[in-house]
Structure formats: C-alpha cells, structure tokens
Amino acid sequence: MSTDSKTIRIVIRGRVQGVSYRAWTKKQADRHGVTGWVRNLPDRTVEALFFGPVEAVDTLLAACRRGPFAARVDGIEVSEEAGPAPGAGFEIRA
C-alpha cells in the first residue's frame, strides 16, 4: 500500500437503511475520487470499502459520520485493509 493512498472498511450503525445512505455514499465517493463499494447488511447496518488518496478517504469517512439528512449515525467501526479495492469506480452492492 502506498503512503499516498489507503483502504478502509467501515460498518455504520444507526438508522442507515431506508434513508438513501448507499446512494448518498456513492455520490460522496464519486465527488471525492474514492473507489470501492457500499452495501446493506442483514443486521440493518451499512458496510463500505473505500480506497483512494489518504485525504479523500479521510474526508469521506468524516462525511459518513454525519450521513445523509434522514440518517442517524450512532457509530462507525473502522478497520484498515491491506490493499486497494478491486476494480474501478464506486458501486452500490445488493
């Protein structure tokens, strides 16, 4: 992993499903040039993998702590990953 980029996996808890959190995350990721994916989990959390320049990933993470207007974020678990997200762009997964 380059010192200029990083990969993180996050799990967002709170009222984050049914409030367009995934679509909002994709829009934010595209805006900041971050690649990866976002998906809903069965336990009503949202999981995402972000890869990109350190500053862009950190900015996106900070935005995810607030989320879209209708969301309520109670907490985020963050773990650093070993390598970049596979593929290009940012996708919403089922």
Cite the active site residues. 22, 40
Consecutive H or E run containing 54: helix 54-64
Residue 46 structure tokens: 């949202």
Task: Report residue 56: phi and psi, to 5°.
Answer: -65, -45
**Within 10 Å of residue 74's Cβ, how many Cβ atoms?**
11
